[in-house]
Structures are given as C-alpha cells and as structure tokens.
Amino acid sequence: MERVAVLWFPGLSEEGPHGSEARAFADALDLVAVHCPFVTPVRLGLATLPARAPSRFYGGEEAVVALLRAALEDFGLRVATPVRLGLADGLFAGVMAAREELIVPPGATPAYLAPLPVSVLRRPELAAICQRLGLTSLGRFAALDAERVFERFGTEGVHCHRVARGELGELEGISDPRITARLRALGEPPEPVAQPSFFGGTSLAEERAARAAIRLQERFGPQSVQTALLRAGHDPAERGELVTFGARASSPRADDAPWPGALPAPSPTTVFATPRAVRLTDREGAPIEVSTRGLLSAVPERCAIAGDSRTVAVVAWAGPWPLTTRWWDRRRTRARLQILTETGVGLLLAAERGSWLLLGRYD
Amino acid sequence: MFASSSTSRRRVERPALDQALRQRVTPIIPASARTLPVAPALAPLLPGGSLRRGTTTLVSGPVGSGATSLGVSLLAHASHVGHWCAAVGLEDPGVVAMAELGLDLRRVVFVPRPRAGWAEAAAELLDGVELILLQPPGRVPHAAARRLVARARERRAALVVVTATRDAWPLSPEVAVTVEHSTWQGAGTGEGRLLARRAEILVEGRGATRAERATVWLPSSRGEVTLAGQHR
C-alpha cells in the first residue's frame, strides 16, 4: 500500500465564523507544495501527500517529516495552530498516526491499528455493537471472519473490516469531495461575470441572471451552475464543454477553420459526461470489432448498454468513421458509429481498443 | 424553501388624469411584453404564435424521440434575441446540438445535476431568467409542480418542461406537445448518416381550441427544426 504523509491542523478543522480557516489551510498547502509536490487536501484541516518519492529525495521519512515541520513552523505560530504530522501505509492509518505524531514503519499498519478502539472508524452503530460483542479494539474486529462481518454488518461493515485489517487505505466518508474545488475557488476571487452586451456595458437582464446563478452556487456548490463553451474538436464531447459559471474561459471560442474528422450536424442532444460501455454484437452474438482498415467485422444486430438490462435490435447504422489523433505522442485510434435501434432511437458510439462506448443520444 | 425576493419599485409622481379621460382609458400591456418569441417555423404550433409569459409548455416524448430537441428549439429564438434561459435537470446536455438548434449559449445557464434540489433550483432561477427548460427526474409531485407554476406566473417567465411521458407532469399545462412517433432518415447499412428526423406530434392544451396534429422535422436535413405539415 502507498506510503502517505498526513498533515493535520487541529485548529483549522472546524469552520469558524469568518471563514478564515479555509484560506489559512490553502496557504499551508502552498507552503508544503514548495517542498513536496502532489499535496492534496482531504478535508478542511487535513491533507495528504505521497511520501515515497520525497523520502527518497530528502533521505528518509524522518527527514521529510522534519523538513515539513520546519517549513510550517512560522505558519503555525502565525495562525496559532499546531501542525501534526504522521506517516503510515494508507490514508486511514496516516490520519491515526498524525493524531499521535508517529511514523509507522512499512508493513506495520495492522499491528499499529490493532489496539485502537473501534470508534475510530467513525461508525457509532458499528462501534456500539462491537462493544456489546466484546470486540473492544480494531485488532479484535479485524480478526473476525470477513464473511461473518458481511452477514452481520453488510457492505459497509466489510469496508470498515478491510480498513481495520490494513487491506484498504481509505475509509469512506473521511474525505470531503468539495474541498479541492473550494480551495481552488479561494485562489481566484469571485468576480461578477462581465460580458459586453449590445450597448457595451452589462445589461440588466444579464445581471439578474448572474445574481440568480450566484445564489444557486452558494446553495448547491459552485460546480452546480455551469455555462457552455464551444471549441474546435472532433467529437461532440470535445467540441462543447460545460464550465463552472463565473469561471473565466480557459480557451478561445471555436474558430471556423475546418476540422477534419469532425462529425457533421446534427449532433447528439445528449452527450454523456462519462460514456457508458456498450456491447455491440452480430447475428451469432459475437462482438463487433473495427478492423485496422476501419471496417466493421460483421453486420451489427444487437446492442446492449451497460446499466440497461434490455438488448435492442439495430435496424440501421452509419459509419464507422475512423479517427487517429495524437499520432506524434500516444497514438489514439478510435472509430465513431451511428446506430438506429428498433425503438427509433439514434445513438452515437465510439470504438476504442476493442470496446464500444456510448458517446451520445439523439434525444 | 422558496424565498421570496423583494423588488423595490420607485414610485413616480404622475400628474392626475382628467376624470372623463380616466373612464375611457384602460391600462394595457403591449402584447410583445406578454410573450416570448419562438422561431417563425414553429410559431404555427403554439396558440398566439409565441410562448406566453407565465405559462407552462409541456413537451413529452419517450427517450430518443426528439422531445429534448423540440424543447430546446422552442427556447432557441428567444435566447437568440436576448432573453436569458436556464436548463435545469438536463443531466448530460449536448451543447453542440443545442447551438445547432439555434440556442445562444452565451445566455444559457446550465444546472445539469440538481438531484433532489431540482425544484428549488428551478424556482431560484425563475428570479433571474425568462425561460426555463426543465427536465425533472421521473414523476413530479403535485405540490412541487404547483409551486413552480405559481412562481413562473408570478415572475412572468416561460416554463418549458420536457418529460418522457405525458402524465409525469401532474398539472394540465397551457400547451402540451407530445411526440408520438419519430423516424430518422439517412442511415442505412453503413452508408449515409443520421441526417433528418421526422416526428408526428400532437399539440393540445388550454390555449388551443382543439388538439392538432402536425409533422415536424427534428431537425431537417438543413439542421433546422421546421414544420413539415399541419393537419387538424
């Protein structure tokens, strides 16, 4: 399992009335990033970084911890919070080690976790039941048979069990998924979106829309409200991009220069952010492949989309249109295919490395 | 849940009207202020030839039938002439297609995955935009729909709801457009490509005197959503 160093700032773990904690935390991470790359926030006041490469570079894990402590000394005095550093296998053990400021040697994680109480898993129900069963420590919980744990506690129990055994590094619920976006948003102060309107300034309607969008962002998080940008590209997913409302455009707008290999209009009305896997088969049920010359291996007959139990018949198809990109670097060859199912639904598929993905649907 | 926004209007002192004149004049709101324009090609579908502010238009049709395209194209012209739109609940919007259908993406706010907060998000956006394209997840609870409709009426915004089935929206909308059947043209056995879609639609509602059937291209081979034929 990966060696991770964990930085814990007890004084920054709770959100204060002025919201200064997030800013101080972001400053601390900047200080750390000067010495060690890839430091990632886990939640407010808690950050982690992979320790293997820095410990080789600085000559040992003790040296890394000493260096980080020195780097954060001034910072700790300034915001009046101590920093606790720990180093262990996996995030969960790392957090435990940071509480006690320990370096747990490689491979010693299960032994280190064993005497800790079950309550450190932050599952009050599980802890209460374990207490009644006489399982007072993580080690005794870990010694249970995995199947028995599943019967009694379900999948979540199994997850905790694997963490307790040191087989799994990260405990679910330990990280705050929004923290990275939050810290990034601190770096760039929110500005009202200013796009010149017809008379140059911003129009009243635009201000009203921006205000409503910002209110929504405050309520549901900045990522919840987005605007669309068009750019040049091959696939619909490349050509249209959703960006967080208020963020500055990262690239210029689409130019009108020809873009060989792009699919012509109409484009799919639904473009999946995470394309789903598709099983495309011929009459005998054998999977359809695209040859190196860009031809289908057989006539597509049936199509099954992952997550959908039904298999539908393919009544018409168009393509495949092969496309090779990044030939100078990591050659990427994919083929796009439009199919029409028996229910009259048009789908856009792509084949890459022998498997089919659903790119979009013509809704 | 639905916080009301306080709008402050400045009172302007006007000279009093003559009593005789007052009895003859009636306050009017210009028709253009009560409606939002739709593309001329779609105008014959709607009563009055436009989207009325404060009303709900329901566009329903099974997944992949073109209901989303039709919903987007109802908003397209208004966004093009400067009205702001919001698309709430369209989980994976194909923004390239929306631009092709005529939507001006500079004036569209997307809330793709509001999850349980979709009604709240739509209500909040009704304060800021004039048109909302809403794709609710599954059947809409009666209370949520009623609140949204009331909010749209109060804010004088047009609500366009896209659902898979007609009964997923519990209220009777001013205009209900149902995509009954649609067929793609252009794809064969490897040759060609999906080029044009011809859809049979049924338009009914409180505004229309009786149900009307029409055939529309969603889109046509020139990429436009147009009316192919209308028959009563």
Is B99 in Cβ contact with A212 (below 8 Å)? Answer: no
Contacts of residue B130 in chain A, CB cutoff 8 Å? Answer: 205
* pLDDT in the model for residue A259: 72
Alpha-helical segments (H) within A36-145:
52-58, 61-78, 91-100, 109-113, 124-132, 138-142
The angle, 0 to 180 degrees and rounded to 10, between the axes of the packed helices A20-35 and A61-78 is: 140
Contacts of residue A198 in chain B, CB cutoff 8 Å? Answer: 82
The percent helix, strand, coil of chain B (3-state, each to 5) is: 30, 30, 40
| DSSP conformation class of A225 | S
Nearest CA in chain A to B82: A205
Per the CB < 8 A criterion, the answer to whether A92 and A163 are in contact is: yes
Option in B68, B112, B188 nearest A226 (CB): B112
CA atoms within 13 A of residue A333's CA, in its CB half-sphere: 9
* pLDDT in the model for residue B22: 67
* pLDDT in the model for residue A305: 86
A262–chain B Cβ distance below 8 A for any pair: no
Is B182 in Cβ contact with A228 (below 8 Å)? Answer: no
Measure A253 CA to nearest chain B CA, in Å. 11
B186–chain A Cβ distance below 8 A for any pair: yes
B218 part of a folded domain: yes
* pLDDT in the model for residue A258: 67
Tally of domains within chain B: 1
φ/ψ (deg, to 5) at A280:
-110, 120
d(CA A157, CA A143): 13
The angle, 0 to 180 degrees and rounded to 10, between the axes of the packed helices A204-220 and B118-126 is: 160
A198–chain B Cβ distance below 8 A for any pair: yes
Contacts of residue A360 in chain B, CB cutoff 8 Å? Answer: 92, 94
Residues with Cβ within 8 Å of A280's Cβ and at least 6 positions away in sequence, in order, are A287, A288, A300, A302, A303, A314, A339, A349, A356
Is B187 in Cβ contact with A267 (below 8 Å)? Answer: no
Is A209 in Cβ contact with B84 (below 8 Å)? Answer: yes
**Tens digits of pLDDT across chain A (363 residues):** 789 999 998 888 887 777 788 888 888 888 888 888 888 888 888 999 999 989 999 989 999 999 988 888 888 777 778 889 999 998 999 999 998 888 999 888 888 999 999 888 888 888 888 888 888 899 999 999 888 888 888 888 888 898 888 888 888 878 887 888 777 777 654 444 444 444 444 577 788 888 888 888 888 888 888 888 888 777 888 888 888 887 755 455 555 666 777 788 888 999 988 888 898 888 888 888 888 777 888 888 888 888 777 888 889 988 888 877 766 666 667 888 999 998 889 999 988 877 888 989 998
Segment A19-72, tens digit of pLDDT: 788 888 888 888 888 888 888 888 888 999 999 989 999 989 999 999 988 888
Contacts of residue A337 in chain B, CB cutoff 8 Å? Answer: none
Residue A243: closest CA among A267, A222, A216: A222
Per the CB < 8 A criterion, the answer to whether A149 and A157 are in contact is: yes
- Residue A286: how many other CB atoms lie within 10 Å: 11
* pLDDT in the model for residue B69: 92
Question: Kind and range of the H or E element at A347?
Answer: strand A346-352
B128–chain A Cβ distance below 8 A for any pair: yes
d(CA A68, CA A224): 36
pTM: 0.61
* pLDDT in the model for residue A22: 84
B164–chain A Cβ distance below 8 A for any pair: no
Provide long-range contacts, Cβ within 8 A and 24+ apart, for A277-284.
A277/A305, A277/A306, A277/A355, A277/A356, A277/A357, A277/A358, A278/A303, A278/A304, A278/A305, A278/A306, A278/A347, A278/A349, A278/A356, A278/A357, A278/A358, A279/A303, A279/A304, A279/A305, A279/A306, A279/A356, A280/A314, A280/A339, A280/A349, A280/A356
Measure B211 CA to nearest chain A CA, in Å. 24
B186 part of a folded domain: yes
* pLDDT in the model for residue B85: 92
* pLDDT in the model for residue B1: 45
B89–chain A Cβ distance below 8 A for any pair: no
- Residue A221: how many other CB atoms lie within 10 Å: 15
A194–chain B Cβ distance below 8 A for any pair: no
Length of chain A: 363
A310–chain B Cβ distance below 8 A for any pair: no
B110–chain A Cβ distance below 8 A for any pair: yes
Amino acid at A318: A
Full 3-state SS string of A308-340:
CCCEEEEEEEEEEEEEEECCCCCCEEEEEEEEE
Does the predicted interface ipTM exceed a cut of 0.90?
A: no
Could you tell me the residue range of the domain that residue B54 belongs to? 41-231
Per the CB < 8 A criterion, the answer to whether B162 and B71 are in contact is: yes
**Tens digits of pLDDT across chain B (232 residues):** 444 444 444 556 666 767 777 666 655 555 556 788 888 888 888 888 888 888 899 999 998 898 999 999 999 998 888 889 999 999 899 998 999 888 988 889 999 988 888 888 999 899 889 999 999 998 999 999 999 999 998 888 999 999 999 889 998 888 899 999 899 988 888 888 888 999 999 888 875 556 788 899 888 888 888 888 776 5
Is B97 in Cβ contact with A269 (below 8 Å)? Answer: yes
Select from 3.90.850.10, 3.30.70.270, 3.20.20.70, 1.10.3210.10 the CATH code of A3-164. Answer: 3.30.70.270
B66–chain A Cβ distance below 8 A for any pair: yes
| A contact test, residue of B194, B216, B217, B225 with most A CBs within 10 A | B194
CA atoms within 13 A of residue A220's CA, in its CB half-sphere: 25
| A contact test, residue of B92, B98, B191 with most A CBs within 10 A | B92
Tell me the CATH number at B112. 3.40.50.300
A259–chain B Cβ distance below 8 A for any pair: no
